Structure 1
Amino acid sequence: MNDYPYDLILFDLDGTLIETAPEIADAVNDTLTRLGHAPVTQKEVDDWIGYGTRELLIKALAKVLGTTTEQVRQAEAFPAIEAEFGQHYQRRCGTRSHLYPHVRETLQALRAAGIKLVVMTNKEGRYTQTVLDAHQLAPLFDRVISGDTLSVKKPNPAGIADCLQRFGVAPERALFVGDSSIDVATARNGGIAVWALPYGYNMGEPIESCQPDRVIPDFSVLTTPLPDRVAAAPV
């Protein structure tokens, strides 16, 4: 066991590792424009982030059509619309997103210290990989769990259980880092600690309202318990 308090850290993606909302909004509005609808706002997209890109698109369509999300989900035309959105989003990935402060160097330092690192997101796998590749983050993670990797997604804790078993880590030695009430609920359901960042997407609510174990200002806090020689090591 190392001196660091955790052997496994799971991270949300959108709003935690990477600011992705602007290019998600671009892809949504590319799709809506092609369909002859007015665009949605950036604030609306920010508040819809959390349950996966598919659900976000459904909410956007329900808004512009003045209908329910269930009606959109059951619509015969929806699969074709979703496929078109996918083309727009793949093209937009990496165009207006960026890493949050201290993300890359923190992940590098944690990995150098031997801590297992996992992405656990509700974003569909094809988009998760594209976003990680756009920012050269994929090699820093030991496992990536997307919204369609398992049969369930956050806040179901199956991804946490999978990683605890896979890496042989006790729950008290694992941490979840996220930006939303979904992430906090996932960690609570999985029986592990959760730290939250205040700058992401929490459906318009302050992150403090969901009572994570700790609210941290940015990623640099994660390296504080590391030995100086590891935290400062070039990678």
Structure 2
Amino acid sequence: MYSLYLFDLDGTLVDTAPEITDATNALLASARLPQVDEALVRQWIGHGTRELLAQAVAHVSGRAVDILRGDGTLDALMPAFSLHYLEHCGRRSRVYPQVEAALDGLRDRGARLAVITNKEERFAFPLLERHGLRDYFQLVVCGDTLPAKKPDPMPITHCLKRFSVSAAQAVFVGDSEIDVKTARAAGVACWAVPYGYNHGRPIQSAGPDRVIESFAELVEQPERRLLLID
């Protein structure tokens, strides 16, 4: 058993794609731009809200993403998007099955729990609060908490230092190639769920140390896991 469990948020703990799609389409409608499908939004989640918005606007306008990132368009749109997202935050997202039971089990065993997400603090904290998850975690590191975000290892190394835990005592649970790269860069194990947002690719292709079908596997006894392998 690890002493520190680090968790990604979107696509790992909570399925947020429906409400992110709602917020994105509300913004696009206000700008008289076409709507986008939820399936596309699921492919854009993972790099933070600003990048998701860049992808959405590029898709419906035909403009190049690289140009949008630097021409001031996103600076003009982000305040309105923030209002739309805060309005929709927690409305249509849902906590994945077995998440709360697993967090209860890990906490009961004395494990320390933290969230590492590229979502900005103004969105991450309300989301955790509205789903009753905030109190499970002793630390939440967001995309704007530190000078660097995933896939930079800084968020993980920050947690290791904060809890005085070695890399060998920690595991990062995520859903994407970004999470696997972050864990590798920090020297910690990475377990991945197959149901999240990995840009349309199977998570196995990212090479995590282990793929867990559900959060229930986080609290299974080692003996039971061996029996399942047999």
TM class, shorter-length: over 0.9
Q: Which residue of 2 aligns with 1:56?
A: 52
**If the length of structure 2 is used for normalisation, what is the TM-score?**
0.94
The aligned length equals 223
Whole-angstrom CA distance in 1 between matches of 2:73 and 2:205: 38
**Gapped regions of structure 1 (runs ≥ 5):** 228-235
Could you tell me how far 1:72 is from its partner in structure 2?
A: 1.5
Partner amino acid, structure 2, of 1:119: V
CA RMSD of aligned residues (A): 1.3
- Provide Cα deviations, 1:189-234, integer angstroms capped at 9, x if missing partner: 000101000000000000000110110100000011389xxxxxxx
Q: 1:46 to 1:80 in 2, by over 3 A?
A: same
Q: 2:180 aligns with which of 179, 184, 198?
A: 184
Whole-angstrom CA distance in 2 between matches of 1:96 and 1:125: 19
Q: Secondary structure at the match of 2:143?
A: coil
Whole-angstrom CA distance in 1 between matches of 2:86 and 2:108: 31
Q: Which residue of 2 aligns with 1:133?
A: 129
Whole-angstrom CA distance in 1 between matches of 2:32 and 2:134: 36
Q: Secondary structure at the match of 1:151?
A: coil
Q: Which residue of 2 aligns with 1:109?
A: 105
Q: 1:226 to 1:94 in 2, by over 3 A?
A: farther
Q: Which residue of 2 aligns with 1:233?
A: none
Q: Secondary structure at the match of 1:39?
A: coil
Q: Which residue of 1 aligns with 2:207?
A: 211
- Provide Cα deviations, 1:75-95, integer angstroms capped at 9, x if missing partner: 334323111010000010111
**If the length of structure 1 is used for normalisation, what is the TM-score?**
0.92
- Identical amino acids, percent of aligned pairs: 48
Whole-angstrom CA distance in 2 between matches of 1:131 and 1:168: 28
**Gapped regions of structure 2 (runs ≥ 5):** 224-230
Following superposition, which runs of at least 4 residues in structure 1 exceed 3 angstroms of deviation? none
Could you tell me how far 1:34 is from its partner in structure 2?
A: 0.5
Whole-angstrom CA distance in 1 between matches of 2:93 and 2:20: 9
Q: Which residue of 2 aligns with 1:23?
A: 19
Q: Which residue of 1 aligns with 2:167?
A: 171
Whole-angstrom CA distance in 2 between matches of 1:76 and 1:171: 40
Whole-angstrom CA distance in 2 between matches of 1:225 and 1:190: 27
